[in-house]
Amino acid sequence: MSFDWKGSRSTRVNVVSWPTSENLGEGRERARWDLETLEEAPAQELERDVSFLAGQDSQDAMHVEFEASGPKILTMICDYDSSLPEPMRIEAVSVLWRSIDERVARLWLIGSVPRVRYPAFMRQRRDLVRILPVGLQLNWLALSLVRLEPLVAVLAGKTSDFQRLAEKISNDGGERDVLRAVINNISDLEGLVGGNPVRRRISASQGKADLGNLLLELGGVLIDVRKRSDLDSIAGCTERVFDALHLVDSEYGRQVESGLAKLEDRSWWRDARKLADGGAGALAAAAMEASSCAERVRSTCVEVDLRSQFLNVGNGDR
């Protein structure tokens, strides 16, 4: 899987590659996808439920079966017609992935890549935000930014203000105060990262210095959101919040079991459902939960001495 950052800086086009396949003969091939769920579920129950979905959706061109090897691990086995074009294969399995995620158990990894980076789930995120009242879409973004704020503040050498920002979300216009505060903190990183963000490919395998570039990219998109408040930019910002926390987990958090990306992955989904069901009345409760999550982000950043590690990386690259 590769990541194409061309075009609008608020939208990323993630390209999925079909895995190496096994030739079964008679014009048929087989490929496997390894799936990991976000939460634990009994393996037998998981296999039963996903197999029921596959039975509903399987067609002659592609037959899908599942094997559960543990409480969170699924193997998706796809037997398909060799003549089936790769885009159609991807579309077929994407429909199943999303059905599993929404109806059986939320997915965490597809292969070694977080679910949220696949196009099917980028569309899912936008579908969930689209049903929110327009006035609450910025609030939904602000909740993610509250969770990210301690990380940005620590890197910028500032004291985190997440509690006050979380309280502001429930006030009229408070979500824009959150955006402004995070933009200002990100702008203080420019001197540390080396100026304008480099438009480069981002992946979990790249170095720690990507975190600074990713946050600067987020700052640019947040400025766009403040001007236009369009749905793609709003959703794109929360995807970058996830990516930043995932980089902390993978590059900085090896000393502790941080799990910040999983925390964010649960939270943005929960926020969207909560605001869709409860409207503006659900904001205060969502803000309290965001503040609680932000405290965990702050404590992790302190525990791993994130700023010192970040500055050491920056000095080493100059």
Average pLDDT over residues 16-23: 90
pLDDT of residue 231: 94
Query: Could you report the per-residue pLDDT of 115-167, keeping only the tens digit for each?
Result: 999 999 999 999 999 999 988 999 999 999 999 999 999 999 999 999 999 99
Residue 5 above 50 pLDDT?
A: no
pLDDT of residue 166: 96
Who wins on pLDDT, 253 or 143? Answer: 143
Residue 215 above 70 pLDDT?
A: yes
pLDDT of residue 40: 87
pLDDT of residue 201: 35
pTM: 0.88
pLDDT of residue 203: 37
Residue 251 above 70 pLDDT?
A: yes
Residue 227 above 60 pLDDT?
A: yes
Residue 181 above 50 pLDDT?
A: yes
Average pLDDT, the chain: 86
- Per DSSP bridges, beta strands 28-37 and 62-68 are unpaired
Q: How confident is the model at residue 53 (pLDDT cuts 50, 70, 90)?
A: confident
Contact of 46 with 105, CB cutoff 8 Å? yes
pLDDT of residue 13: 59
From first CA to last CA, the distance across the chain in angstroms is: 30
pLDDT of residue 209: 62
Residue 194 above 80 pLDDT?
A: no
Q: How confident is the model at residue 10 (pLDDT cuts 50, 70, 90)?
A: low
Residue 2 above 60 pLDDT?
A: no
Average the pLDDT over each of 64-78, 95-109, 168-182 and give the range with the smallest value: 64-78
Residue 199 above 50 pLDDT?
A: no
Q: Determine how many CB atoms are found less than 10 A away from the CB of residue 285.
A: 12
Contact of 117 with 3, CB cutoff 8 Å? yes
Residue 59 above 70 pLDDT?
A: no
Average the pLDDT over each of 15-24, 128-137, 204-213, 296-305 and give the range with the smallest value: 204-213
